[in-house]
Amino acid sequence: MGKLKIDLLNTSFTIQANEDSEYLDKLYGYYKRIIEDVKQIDSVKTPLQISILAGIMLCDELYKEKTNKLSQELNNHNAQNINSSSELEKRTLDKNKKINKVKKILLLLTISIVLSSCTTYKLDKSVWYNLSFVEKDGQKADMTTSLHFVSEKQVDVFVSVVSDTNFIVTPFKYAEGTYQVKGNPKKQAHINIDITTIEKNKDTWTGVFHKNDAMILKSSNSVKIYGKLPDITLP
């Protein structure tokens, strides 16, 4: 039983297989060369597209290898006048087992990367919130600022103020704007939000976020930590 650590296409994980580590390392090196070839194709950009196309290329290569082996076996059979059809069948079966073993390991690697790539942390359709303490004229209250990422580019900002269980300020749309994300949220991504308030004031919020755990945003006058509301998806 061997172990192989994968670190490709912004994805890191470890797999186990019924092969020694040296053999797995050779397969991994071969797979990485295929990945690099796929990256040269301009129309293939995302990690998911790259890993899927690499898997298809592997299937094509292994299928051709399998059919070539079968053809070679048949030619050898005719040339050497092998009398026993069971002998040919056994030899072909042994070859197929070896090919299938390599095929299974490489396809397992491809599927693992595809599944990891499918685990996304996009902001689209998600809601993040910040709860902060405010006080005015001696009255204490909690102010909630929520970010509604309504699309892959647009975000709406809502604000409400509650004292005990009573709304002092009912939820209203305070601002709207656009956002950009750079980097990998699985590690740490940078986010930039350009907003325009209902009073037509403009501001830029910059910060970072990690997966669905936390987001830190700095505006022109404050720094806030936001958390994602679970199990909520915007229509």
Q: What pLDDT, on a 0 to 100 scale, did the predictor assign at position 59?
A: 75
Each domain of the chain, given as residue ranges in start order, spans 2-118, 127-228
Q: Which CATH number fits domain 127-228: 2.40.128, 2.40.50, 3.10.450, 1.20.1050?
A: 2.40.128
Q: What pLDDT, on a 0 to 100 scale, did the predictor assign at position 37?
A: 84
CA atoms within 13 Å, Cβ hemisphere of 208: 8
pLDDT band at 118 (very low <50, low <70, confident <90, very high): very low
Of 53-62, 73-82, 122-131, the range with the highest mean pLDDT is: 122-131
DSSP string of 14-58, one letter each residue: EEEESS-HHHHHHHHHHHHHHHHHHHT-TT--SHHHHHHHHHHHH
The yes-or-no verdict on residue 4 having pLDDT over 60 is yes
Question: What are the tens digits of pLDDT across the range 177-186?
Answer: 999 998 877 7
Q: What is the average pLDDT value for the chain, to the nearest integer?
A: 78
Q: What pLDDT, on a 0 to 100 scale, did the predictor assign at position 178?
A: 96
